[in-house]
Structure 1
Amino acid sequence: MTYSKPRPGRIALVSEHASPLAELGGPDAGGQNVYVAQLAARLAGRGHDVTVYTRRDSPDLPTLVRTPLGVKVVHVPAGPPTAVPKDELLVWMPDFGGYLSRMWRLARPDVVHAHFWMSGLAALTGTRGTGIPVVQTYHALGTVKRRYQGPEDTSPPERVGIEARIGQEADHTIATCADEVVELVAMGVPEERISVVPCGVDTTRFSPVPDPGRPPGGPRRLLSVGRLVPRKGFDRAIKALAEVPNAELLIAGGPDAPLLFADPEAERLRKTASEYGVAERVTMLGCVPQEKMPALMSSADLLLSLPRYEPFGIVPIEAMACGTPVVATAVGGQLDTVVDGVTGALVPPADDGGHDLAATIRSLLDDPARRARYGEAGRAHALARYTWDEVTDGVSRVYAQLTPVPLPTEVAR
């Protein structure tokens, strides 16, 4: 008797605003783009037929692009073929979902994985009445955003209600951290249909750089990385610096360095640095290319990640992968990724009388042996839990629960 080899799984990834082909650094181009690109590439590398559906945001884009790694990217005609802020895309999701429905009637996927809430809305429209299983990953939740941003939240007012409905209708939801599970259950998403699979880091690229180019004998280096928005807590790092002698703070993020003078948040941070008397010890680097980030992170004595809230937060893992210890606020995904007293220190999300952030920073800067232990443990932690192969294994196990098509759940190592 002869046995035929099982056919590859047909996997559809829906990412309405975050294209895996996008250049990072734009207002809506960041972690989700990387996640979708990395997951798609690794699924394709395991032999699956992977198609990513994303919105056409330029008239020059072809309908179909095949990447060198074998991923098909389909640019969906939904709304004008121009860049539109993601918070304004809801009106075009019926068109997006209708396009998916037509495509999937012609070539039925075995599983659909939606990324972000509007993608979930389009995916559920596209699969309605077909029995195709839908997996949802939110990447960020409207309930959390509304809680912390209040009137500054630019999300559509319908977001929270739609997110709850998506979670209740989807076959499974992948949360990126334990804190998100609590939020999802409170939204009415059945806990038995939730799995935790974290985001990943390219631990080959993000690794310790033996000679990061830091001048010898200079001040101790603190580094903060992220978008220049108030919630990231760069102002808190600046205020703490005033009580940390012989130290400098580098802030990487925002527009290119020559354009920082016109950035409102950069100006606010400059004023804070002047007010606290540390202007000469704070350097705003602007946007740092990804290829230069491992050396920058390796050059730091400490990575400060102090957001007021953070759905997941990839920067601490990137730093740990580079062997750099982390001081992070105990919020969101950072509660999972940073192991307090092992890979770094967790601190409260706001200054209060019960904790002294500057004292925590000083104690670590004054203890090179402890920093070295934290750095080694951080690198090991990143390799054990946050490689993209580990992430793809976890996602594949969820897919395998939902489709009768044999899907390999782990890559051969």
Structure 2
Amino acid sequence: MVSEHASPLAVLGGADAGGQNVHVAALATALGARGHQVTVHTRRDAPDLPARVPLAPGVVVEHVPAGPPRPVPKDELLPYMPEFAEELGRRWLDERPDVVHAHFWMSGYAALLAARDLDVPVAQTFHALGSVKRRHQREADTSPPERRWLEPRVAREADAVIATCSSEVQELCAYRVRPDSAVVIPCGVDLDLFRPDGPVALRGDRPRVLSIGRMVPRKGVDTAIEAIAAVPDAELVVAGGPGAEELDADPEARRLRALADEHGVADRVTFLGRVPHDEAPALMRSADAVVSVPWYEPFGMVPVEAMACGTPVVASAVGGHLDTVIDGVTGLHVPPRDPAALAGRLTELLADRRRRTRLGRAGARRARALYSWDRIAASTESVYEQLAGYGPRAAMAGLVGLAGGTKGARS
């Protein structure tokens, strides 16, 4: 695997550390459990990092030197990708992988450069598409200008594109991706960690609404703050971003605190800062509802994790949320960037305990049936097998949910 900026070893909650890190770590671990040997290549972003770090049985993380050994924002990494690719090529020449699976467009660019003379098939997962990012963020999009033409090229040249939701496949059509090269395989959830039973975080008597995830504008935390002002007595707990001790210095945290003060709800909005991944389930179980209302969302891990915990979800009707949250059955949809609509849905939900229970139970059933990491790994394995020639070649469409049986491949 190649994940140039999103190390599976990273601490979550920063601007560039979130769902992709979890996805790469969990998928690699699940593939290792299925008998594969998995190496995850990520950029060395500190001088004292060991060259190789075991992650799980059958899985190792390799830190690849490319650019300065310090954190660099992901949108500034493109100049270092030729160096990254050159190092990958040297390593793969010594030990050729059966399949390369790249995560994010820059990883795909580097992987294709490294694999082009080695006859190694490349699968690509974008996690976010530049075309969608530009549409929603406009001038706030910090992607390098080269992304406009390099990302579609990566999509066309990859042997398979593994999209995480159905709306992503529709977007890929504009990139002129071959129809038989695309498959939808969603992200998964750790069902041993995220489950209805387990510890519950302390809380008071107020109805609790939880927003959890990266603290960046597109995640829509401001929408949740504006909405909570119209939901009497409810509290909003905001988890994510830098550590609690660093919130005062964080521009986005300061903006959101000022917004809460402006709307007169500073006493009902609590900012926790970064929460360790293994503490998130207890926080989700303590909530009466989890809100996830980004402007756009390539997949969205938070709604699925909350569903797995049996907590009802109110999610913006965008991207992966349209696949994971069934409106009125496993959660509720609202338009993005619409505080009034969110306030209305929350008011209804918080006033109806039986409905919350019904949605929570249905969400937990759906998460357990469709989003286990073993199921996701089995579907991904099927794509790998076909690319590596272990199974009969067939169109990628239709592979979702199939479980392959060949073990021992290197990726």
| Structure 1 unmatched runs, 5+ | 1-12
Q: Report deviation, 1:65.
A: 2.9
Aligned residue identity for 1:379: A
Pick aligned residue for 1:64 from 52, 60, 65:
52
Q: 1:234 to 1:25 in 2, by over 3 A?
A: closer
* Alpha carbons 1:209, 1:295 under 8 Å: kept: no
Q: Report deviation, 1:104.
A: 1.9
**1:137 correspondence with 2:125:** yes
Supply the distance in 2 between the matched residues of 1:183 and 1:316 (Cα, whole angstroms).
22
TM-score by length of structure 2 reads 0.92
Equivalent position of 2:400 in the other structure: none
Equivalent position of 2:2 in the other structure: 14
**1:347 correspondence with 2:342:** no
3-state secondary structure, aligned to 1:401: helix
**1:399 correspondence with 2:394:** no
**1:361 correspondence with 2:349:** no
Q: Report deviation, 1:165.
A: 0.3
* Alpha carbons 2:314, 2:334 under 8 Å: kept: yes
Aligned residue identity for 1:258: E
3-state secondary structure, aligned to 1:188: coil
* Alpha carbons 1:54, 1:73 under 8 Å: kept: yes
* Alpha carbons 2:12, 2:276 under 8 Å: kept: no
* Alpha carbons 2:123, 2:158 under 8 Å: kept: yes
Supply the distance in 2 between the matched residues of 1:284 and 1:205 (Cα, whole angstroms).
23
Q: Report deviation, 1:316.
A: 0.7
Q: Report deviation, 1:148.
A: 1.1
- Range with greater deviation from structure 2 (391-400 or 54-63): 54-63
Aligned residue identity for 1:17: H
Q: Report deviation, 1:297.
A: 0.4
Equivalent position of 1:409 in the other structure: 404
TM-score by length of structure 1 reads 0.91
Which structure 2 residues correspond to residues 4-403 of structure 1 after superposition, within 5 A? 13-209=1-197, 212-215=200-203, 218-351=205-338, 356-403=341-388
3-state secondary structure, aligned to 2:162: strand
- The structure showing larger relative contact order (alpha-carbon pairs under 8 Å, at least 6 residues apart) is 2
Count residues in correspondence: 397
Supply the distance in 1 between the matched residues of 2:10 and 2:176 (Cα, whole angstroms).
34
* Alpha carbons 1:181, 1:191 under 8 Å: kept: no
Equivalent position of 2:395 in the other structure: none
Q: 1:155 to 1:213 in 2, by over 3 A?
A: closer
Q: 1:282 to 1:108 in 2, by over 3 A?
A: same
- Range with greater deviation from structure 2 (59-68 or 47-56): 59-68
Q: 1:159 to 1:228 in 2, by over 3 A?
A: same
Larger radius of gyration: 1
The two structures, once aligned, show a CA RMSD in angstroms of 2.0
What does the per-residue CA deviation read over 1:318-359, in whole Å, with 9 as the maximum and x for residues that have no partner? 11111000111101111111110111110111339xx73322
Q: Report deviation, 1:169.
A: 0.6
| Structure 2 unmatched runs, 5+ | 393-402
- Range with greater deviation from structure 2 (317-326 or 206-215): 206-215
Q: Report deviation, 1:91.
A: 0.9
